[in-house]
A and B are shown apart, each in its own frame.
Chain A
Amino acid sequence: MPIVSYREALNQAMREEMARDERVFLLGEEVGQYNGAYKVSQGLLKEFGPWRVVDTPIAELGFCGLGVGAAMGGLRPIVEVMTWNFALLAYDQIVNNAAKLRSMSGGQLHCPVVFRGPQGAAHQLASQHSQVFESTYAFVPGLKVCVPATPRDAKGLLKTAIRDEDPVVFMESEVLYGTKGEVEDGELLIPFGQAEVARDGGDVTIVAWQKMRFVALKAAELLEREGVQACVIDPRTLRPFDLEAVLASVARTHRCVVVEEGWPWMGSGAQIADSIQRHGFDDLDAPILRVTGRDVPMPYAKPLEHEVLPTPERVVEACRRVLYRSP
């Protein structure tokens, strides 16, 4: 199977879908002439021309609204937001328009638009450019939220997102763009709401996605040296969420740690922990613990940034605690 970078996988997904369906087009800041701020749209302007790859002004509310309108009108826009930090300006279009059109029109309208771009901390981008907003979108009924970790998931989920009849919030990761992995050539559709067991084990369940998947896998390696077999589950989409996969694992391990890059209070992990205790109460031998980014605006200083983000060591410690191996 070809080895492809996360960036190329996204590029493949868009290229294939644009070739397959002429209603699909891309718009956003720097997506055309500059080939994308992160080079995800490399070559697409050349291949599909300025009608299908549209450079926009720096006006998130405007061009996201343009995407919503185009979707209502029958097209299938992919709106690239340079990062999700900037898409805060377009939150109204995404939440108040895209997410609501189907229900508020009684099903007469729908909005098959994909908003995509990177989120999360990269390296010393400070408070305003290091944020994780997945939970604020997964919070909204009417939106679907993808958080792919691997090149294969990036391609398979983006193709599914572009074909979806409803608005999809597609969150990528700046630091994952360069990572490589096996990706099938051509058609690859990964359904939403289907978790992947990134690593199997019967002693403790770790739920983690996107960058945190790799933090969890590293933690699982460290735990293995202590004789603990961790099961790492990557939900891949936060809405819909594959609760069954998590519950099946917890039924085996009786303990669970949820890892997320974002802030703790009202974070995705809180909802996941709630769902597990609600539906798997009798399976739990220990409280569900969460490992999250610290509850602060991201500091600029490198050691402080490291202190804020979840580490494999913190995940290991949480696992030891739910295993009653640590006070």
Chain B
Amino acid sequence: MAKPINMPKLSDEMTEGKIAEWLKKPGDEVKPGEVVAQVETEKATLDVEAFEGGVLLAVVVQAGETAPVGKPIAWIGKAGEKVPGESAAAPEARPSAPPPAPSPPRREGQGGATSRQAVSEPRSAAPAAERPATGTFTGRVPVSPAARKAARDRGLDLSGLKGSGPGGRVVLADLEQAPRAAAPAPAAAAASAKRRPLPPKRPLHDESIPLSPMRKAIARNLGVAKPGSPHYYLEISADVRRLVSLREQLEELGDGPVSLNDLVLKAAAEALTRHPEVNAAWGGDAILRRGAVHMGMAVAVEDGLVTPVVRDADRKSVLEIARLTRDLAKRARERRLKPDEYQGATFTVSNLGMFGIDAFYAIINPPEAAILSVGTVRKVPWVDEASGEIVAVERCRFGLSGDHRVIDGAVGARFLQTFQAVVEAPLRLVAAT
């Protein structure tokens, strides 16, 4: 069986050796103890002897190449014998570029004119001090202490950020251009921990709820003040950093684009399952609760507006919703929607965020009880509740127009509160619950 000739350890300090010369070539007879090669170490060129006799079958580390101590440099055996793992061993034993020989240990501060290396004047010494940034921080973002502290204080996530300092060090100046924290700040997490639990999900049924005398009076009086469907308007703003991050993560899955609006649709559907009273319509002499959540989505088309419907949005995954809305919007613009694709919504979402609109109040799509209007996502200065400091937070303003005949202001407000909580903790939208 072929036996390896390994790179010998020829001195205590030796960790690798460079083959200076092969004295035998493949096919040559080798006697035990015969010198087959010469190896250069840091200090000297030394002989490598074969322990066993035989024929030199293969040389795996060529002259001029370097191998670590203990690695095979050649194989020896009977003529014609196969060298084990030849193909596998070869690349390992043949570094494409020999590693640089380690320099002798540097002694600093030994005084006199010989200690030039010890000179710590900035031009020579500091780059050496800064150089490790690339190597030693593998897998970490090198950050200056001040930048690290500022990022912690402001709740910024520095992972993935490329700093402008030496070795990619993130310095204070980089934070000014830093993207919003991908992960929510600890402060935000603390705030969400304090958040009240959501109202439970409730079963949805198609049901007709007769009008109580009070409801009749409300409908009558408000109908006088605001004929038709008497709107009231509420607004809430939500921290959408997590929602934005979730959208990015969903897109990274590679299953097609996901818009923020898809997540908003899903969040509204989720909130409706917890507030069925909002998932309702005005029925003239009764209020019609709806047994399914069909989300209308306002799409601007040339010369008008269509509202395609995502049926059972509460039961569809975000990715399904994303695919559907893309398809529906495209066909809406092409005017190729079938009637059942734009009829039967129980609730509608209208989004003008893409136009930079901060907030607005949409007009209800009758006979629905309410419509959600979505503004643009903006980074705004915000007082962090946990730290009391002003931080830059991406927020979005949501408006709710409610039909007062069907839902009172307090009902709309509770719905918006739930909606905000869902938006701020959006993992629920993708969790299999």
Contact = CB atoms under 8 A, between A and B. Distances in A.
A265 B122 contact: no
A159 to B, nearest CB: 36
Contacts of A317: 122-123
B165 to A, nearest CB: 6
Given A297-B113, A324-B165, A289 B122 contact: yes
Interface string A273-301: 00000000111111101111011110000
Contact of B129 (A287, A294, A297, A318): A287
Q: Which of B109, B112, B120, B166 has the most CB of A within 10 A?
A: B120
Nearest to B173: A324
Interface string B147-175: 11100000000000000111000011100
Q: Is the interface of B mostly helix, strand, loop or mixed?
A: helix
B121 A265 contact: no
Nearest to A269: B120
A19 interface: no
A310 B144 CA distance: 27
Contacts, number: 73
Nearest to A288: B126
The range of chain A's interface size is 20 to 34
By Cβ-Cβ distance, the 10 closest A-B pairs, closest first, are A285-B146, A282-B149, A295-B119, A264-B120, A289-B122, A285-B144, A265-B109, A254-B146, A285-B172, A318-B122
Given A265-B108, A296-B113, A321-B126, A285 B119 contact: no
B130 interface: yes
Given A318-B122, A324-B164, 9 more contacts: A264-B125, A265-B118, A282-B149, A283-B149, A284-B145, A285-B146, A290-B120, A295-B121, A314-B122
A89 interface: no
B116 interface: yes
Contacts of A264: 118-121, 125
Interface string A159-201: 0000000000000000000000000000000000000000000
Nearest to A290: B120
Nearest to A273: B120
Nearest to B143: A285
Contacts of B148: 282
A270 to B, nearest CB: 8
Given A287-B130, A324-B173, A294 B121 contact: yes
Given A295-B115, A297-B113, A286 B165 contact: yes
A192 to B, nearest CB: 28
12 contacts: A264-B119, A265-B109, A265-B115, A266-B109, A270-B120, A281-B145, A284-B146, A285-B145, A285-B146, A289-B126, A294-B121, A317-B122
A264 B121 CA distance: 7
Contacts of A270: 120
A294 B119 contact: yes
A246 to B, nearest CB: 15
A283 B55 CA distance: 68
A286 B109 contact: no
Contacts of A285: 144-147, 171-172
Q: Which of A264, A286, A294 has the most CB of B within 10 A?
A: A286
Given A254-B146, A296-B113, A286 B121 contact: no
A285 B173 CA distance: 9
A307 B273 CA distance: 79
B235 to A, nearest CB: 40
A292 B121 contact: yes
Contacts of B108: 265
A290 B123 CA distance: 10
A101 to B, nearest CB: 31
Nearest to B153: A282
Given A282-B146, A282-B148, A292 B120 contact: yes
Nearest to A254: B146
A317 B121 CA distance: 11
A291 B125 CA distance: 11
A294 B117 CA distance: 11
B313 to A, nearest CB: 48
Contacts of A282: 145-146, 148-149
A256 B291 CA distance: 68
A284 B144 contact: yes
Contacts of A294: 119, 121
